[in-house]
Structure 1
């Protein structure tokens, strides 16, 4: 095995660019990057497998178990799909054996598929962002929130509970201190998301510990986030 995961990712990116819309391809790559990041920091096979531990079946199983412990089944299914596509490409290109052969994605109930599956595509995302006025701090906040939900698997309670100190600007990561089941974990912060959060922080009216503020200057609640998203969707003309 001579092809590194980074090199395999480059080939996968070219393959996606030729067959998928840019936003869809970017989503696959971002989910793949989260897996690579996990392998680098948490994979139990890292000491003996080195940089090739992402190719191992046990690495995939351990990662999916970790994601399942802190995310909903629809979110796990989204990560599963991205990894399955990547390893199918690797198998075709003879980079590695497919470590996901025989693995089945989480089974979703009809209610989960309707309620929790991603509802917005790239076009909807752009419409939501266009509905955020950049000349107000609330508009900048809403833009940063939308991008945070788009780029990470964070649950509403995890996102709204973040503190400014949970952000590692140098490492481009956010640490969730107490996720589902009390698990502490980190997520990668893509440049688009980081820039939006940084701009919001520069313009918000209060310098307090909570990352996300309500209009009244208090920590944003999950319910307030849900109401904001519904208002934004209506403003953007998304049903």
Structure 2
């Protein structure tokens, strides 16, 4: 069995590479009217796939290569949901190749990772605090701090925070583009506002891009870059990695636990229906159940007898 396990293997170019076909895949999706978010999902999610196999001819990718690649993502600490998202994107790309008449692996020959129902990683206040402390020794400390605070303060989707542009930082808060293209200005604390201002003034590199959060080279941060940043800071903080969406869940449950009413939470999170918000209310209630079990006044009373 050949093992790729996330390591590049030199290939002799005998036909167009996977990377070249990938650009055609994105162009085809745009011409078919796929939404910008769908295109961005494929582009950002498949970065790690291209990093491993981009220079390979597609006909040389085997089922074992793909299985080892997916296994390696779990070993790197990616959640089941994250690996499942990568698998969905890879599967769509391989199916497109075959539909275009390109010799490529049939994704049906690989049993993809199961999506664990009910798996809901949630990051807590203490974990966020340790990430902020770890960011102080990062090569981009001001950006990392501002980005973490923006995620935690707004309970926004990672894509919404990464999509922020310089003029989206407004006196009233941060203007994010929600699903469906709607714009919404979200209030932020003075601490987050100051962190963003300091980052822009002292650390943000010069760039032709007007995106707020950039890499050290001046490119807009991708989802994979954010995930790598959190992975690096989690290791430095000595804690388990949790994916970007865990900030949205954690912030929402924290606000509900602190008394924010569900209607206000629905507005803040950009949910179209109350049913979507109830998931976060249930998470907060489950959290309260655990806390109550630990600090029940009746349990304390009986223990003291």
Pairwise CA RMSD of aligned residues?
Answer: 4.7
- 1:8, 1:95 within 8 Å by CA — same for their partners in 2? no
Q: TM-score, normalised by structure 2?
A: 0.43
Aligned to 1:110, the other structure's residue is in SS state coil
Distance change (3 Å), C-alpha of 1:230 and 1:87: farther
Measure the CA separation in 2 of the matches of 1:21 and 1:154. 23
Answer yes or no: is 1:56 the counterpart of 2:56.
no
Distance change (3 Å), C-alpha of 1:137 and 1:21: same
Distance change (3 Å), C-alpha of 1:138 and 1:85: same
Aligned to 1:158: 231
Aligned to 2:44, the other structure's residue is in SS state helix
- 1:53, 1:59 within 8 Å by CA — same for their partners in 2? no
Indicate which of 88, 93, 97 corresponds to 1:86: 93
Note the C-alpha offset of 1:72: 1.5
Note the C-alpha offset of 1:139: 4.9
- 2:95, 2:106 within 8 Å by CA — same for their partners in 1? no
Answer yes or no: is 1:26 the counterpart of 2:26.
no
Note the C-alpha offset of 1:60: 1.6
Answer yes or no: is 1:96 the counterpart of 2:96.
no
Aligned to 1:106, the other structure's residue is in SS state coil
Note the C-alpha offset of 1:235: 3.1
Q: Which has the larger radius of gyration?
A: 2
- 1:28, 1:82 within 8 Å by CA — same for their partners in 2? yes
Aligned to 1:131: 186
Note the C-alpha offset of 1:136: 2.2
Indicate which of 108, 123, 137 corresponds to 2:115: 108
Aligned to 2:147: none
Measure the CA separation in 1 of the matches of 2:87 and 2:230. 23
- CA offsets per residue over residues 31-56 of structure 1, 9 Å max, x none? 2222111336xxxxxxxxx6337851
Answer yes or no: is 1:72 the counterpart of 2:79.
yes
- 2:47, 2:224 within 8 Å by CA — same for their partners in 1? no
- CA offsets per residue over residues 117-142 of structure 1, 9 Å max, x none? xx95875377798527699234568x
Moved more, 80-89 or 22-31: 22-31
Indicate which of 2, 10, 14 corresponds to 2:27: 14
Aligned to 1:172: none
Measure the CA separation in 2 of the matches of 1:148 and 1:159. 15
Answer yes or no: is 1:227 the counterpart of 2:260.
no
Distance change (3 Å), C-alpha of 1:11 and 1:77: same
Measure the CA separation in 2 of the matches of 1:148 and 1:65. 25
Note the C-alpha offset of 1:66: 0.3
- CA offsets per residue over residues 50-80 of structure 1, 9 Å max, x none? 6337851233222111012221111111000
- CA offsets per residue over residues 124-176 of structure 1, 9 Å max, x none? 377798527699234568x75xx97944583996365377xxxxxxxxxxxx9
Query: Gaps (5+ residues) in structure 1?
Result: 41-49, 164-175, 181-221
Q: TM-score, normalised by structure 1?
A: 0.52
Moved more, 97-106 or 21-30: 97-106
Distance change (3 Å), C-alpha of 1:87 and 1:223: closer
Number of residue pairs matched? 172
Note the C-alpha offset of 1:20: 1.9
Distance change (3 Å), C-alpha of 1:160 and 1:8: same
